[in-house]
Amino acid sequence: MSQTSVLEQLKSMTTLVADTGDVNAISQFMPIDATTNPSLLLKAAGMEKYQGLIQNCIATAKKNATDQDARIKAAADAFAIQVGAEILAIIPGRVSTEVDARLSFQTDAMVQEARRISAAYLERGFDQKRILIKIAATWEGIMAAKILEAEGIGCNLTLMFNFAQALACANAKVTLVSPFVGRIFDWYTQKTGETYTPDNDPGVLSVKRIYEYYRKFDINTIVMGASFRNIGQIKALSGCDYLTISPALLQQLDSEAAPLVRTLSKDKAKAQVMDEVFLDEASFRWQMNEDAMATEKLAEGIRLFNQDLLKLYAVLSEKF
């Protein structure tokens, strides 16, 4: 009897999320959920199959917006929702749609944009429970998520690199957090020159710490490991609530047939010895200040998302 693929074994332990805007890849691997961001939308905008959809978004924007800048933003916003809607037509679960990265330090502005995104999906007939609003895990972003969660709008707090971010998200009762394994790994690899294995990978250990703390103290927030560089990192987090994985790594997992051992579970977390941690805004900001990796990677992540959003605007501008 042939061995079941690592991908199929992983699906029995963890909810898999496709880290792509490509509906063909999503159809191939059939994850439960999917995530998008400006970088993925920029890639989608270059695909031939999305050109008709883009033209429809542009036509609508021309009717409803008054000046060119407003039209481009309206078209980009509509494109993000339309890609999300196409994904929701395929998957059984939820899709994450990101707020404008330029709003990452403006709580009220993020709340307003999130409400608009949620309303746009509702207008297309999608249940609010199938939508997650993706927000950078700044203090202001976490406070925006706290407001939105109280209104029934679920949030995915992204660009998570520090335990303080996870604690603040737990206090805000956010639906889901996305700790970034690969970007933490990249930073430490570059700074130290060391070669890390899944057992001592700083990104893997960061997700494990968050998962174990949440499960130890019965925090309902979902932990979704993200930003993987290799399948070793993924396998080291088997049993994590969710893992969001690129199509290339999903393909590698599907091609491998070795046995997969579950590494994370609620029972194991409950057996850990740890104390609950108090966190307020001052503590959050100090812990981020003391963590050069988290401070640098959070700022870099926001910049990169914004750069790709502006590139998407440029692509759409050429099509008007």
CATH of the domain at 33: 3.20.20.70
In total, how many domains does the chain have? 1
Pairwise CA distance, residues 160 & 222, whole Å: 13
| Residue 226 placed within a domain | yes
Q: With contact defined as beta carbons under 8 Å apart, do 23 and 34 qualify?
A: no
pLDDT of residue 40: 86
pLDDT in tens, 152-165: 999 999 999 999 99
| Residue 115 placed within a domain | yes
Surface-to-core class of residue 139, CB atoms within 10 Å of its CB (0-12 exposed, 13-18 middle, 19+ buried):
middle
- Helix (H) or strand (E) run with residue 135 in it: strand 131-136
| Residue 158 placed within a domain | yes
The single residue of 11, 43, 49, 134 carrying the catalytic annotation is 134
**What is the pTM (predicted TM-score) of this model?**
0.94
pLDDT of residue 1: 39
The conformation of residue 163, written as its DSSP 8-state character, comes to H
- Helix (H) or strand (E) run with residue 98 in it: strand 95-98
Produce one character per residue of 68-102: b if its CB has 16 or more CB atoms within 10 Å, e if not: eeebbbbbbbbbbbbbbbbbbeebebbbbbbbbbe
In sequence order, which residues have a C-beta less than 8 Å from that of residue 275 and are 6 or more positions away? none
| Residue 1 placed within a domain | no
| Residue 309 placed within a domain | yes
Residue 259, both tokens = 């046995």
Calculate ∠ Cα 43-48-54, nearest 5°: 75
Does residue 270 carry a catalytic annotation? no
pLDDT of residue 64: 83
What is the arithmetic mean of pLDDT over 131-137?
98
Domain around 302: 6-319
